[in-house]
Structure 1
């Protein structure tokens, strides 16, 4: 019985408050851009990120997503310099600017953020 009471006390008083899920909004949702033009994609998180942990991915039809930008602004691998990531290391607003858009840039772009603290999926 003592174990049960300690366990119940721990559940009621020691676990941090329930935290809601973090939402991420990307804009524009859909955009067609002529070759040679510039586009800016925006991503807003409902909560600030941890350090610089923010990334952009591109997924082309029939392929797995590929990392383009990591730690807010660093290009991964052979990502062209036409791709520029921007944002604050402790903020919630980020952007990906693609200049001189090429046909091979077509696809679905995703942003990813990392947040601290315990995760409680439901309360």
Structure 2
């Protein structure tokens, strides 16, 4: 799994797009991509699951999608508080 753009700068109020690819092939909705935000000193917080679903309490300015075989996280109206590390995760196997 590879997350692109290891460091991204954006002006407050702007939009940033993060992309995540799978080295073994395309990411699809069947991979149930999810996104997490981790601020310094805190545990990761889930932002998106199942491609584009936000958990309760996550602002609508965070959105997920799939584009060009990659999972994509888009953050609009970026705020200073959004400064963090962002991670993606995908399901690649079976659950018994």
* Same fold (TM > 0.5): yes
Residue 76 (structure 1) aligned with residue 91 (structure 2): no
Residue 6 of structure 2 corresponds to which residue in structure 1?
29
Deviation at 1:26, TM superposition (A): 1.2
Give TM-score scaled by structure 2 length.
Answer: 0.86
Task: Give the structure with higher Rg (CA).
Answer: 1
Residue 63 (structure 1) aligned with residue 42 (structure 2): yes
Residue 44 (structure 1) aligned with residue 21 (structure 2): yes
- Structure 1: gaps of 5 or more residues: 1-23, 118-123
Number of residue pairs the alignment of both structures matches: 92
Deviation at 1:52, TM superposition (A): 4.5
Structure with higher helix content: 1
Q: After the TM superposition, list the runs of 4 or more consecutive aligned residues in structure 1 that deviate by more than 2 angstroms.
A: 47-50
Cα distance between partner residues in 2 of 1:72 and 1:108: 19
- Structure 2: gaps of 5 or more residues: none
Deviations 1:72-114 (A, max 9, x none): 10011211100110017xx841100100100111100000011
Residue 70 of structure 2 corresponds to which residue in structure 1?
93
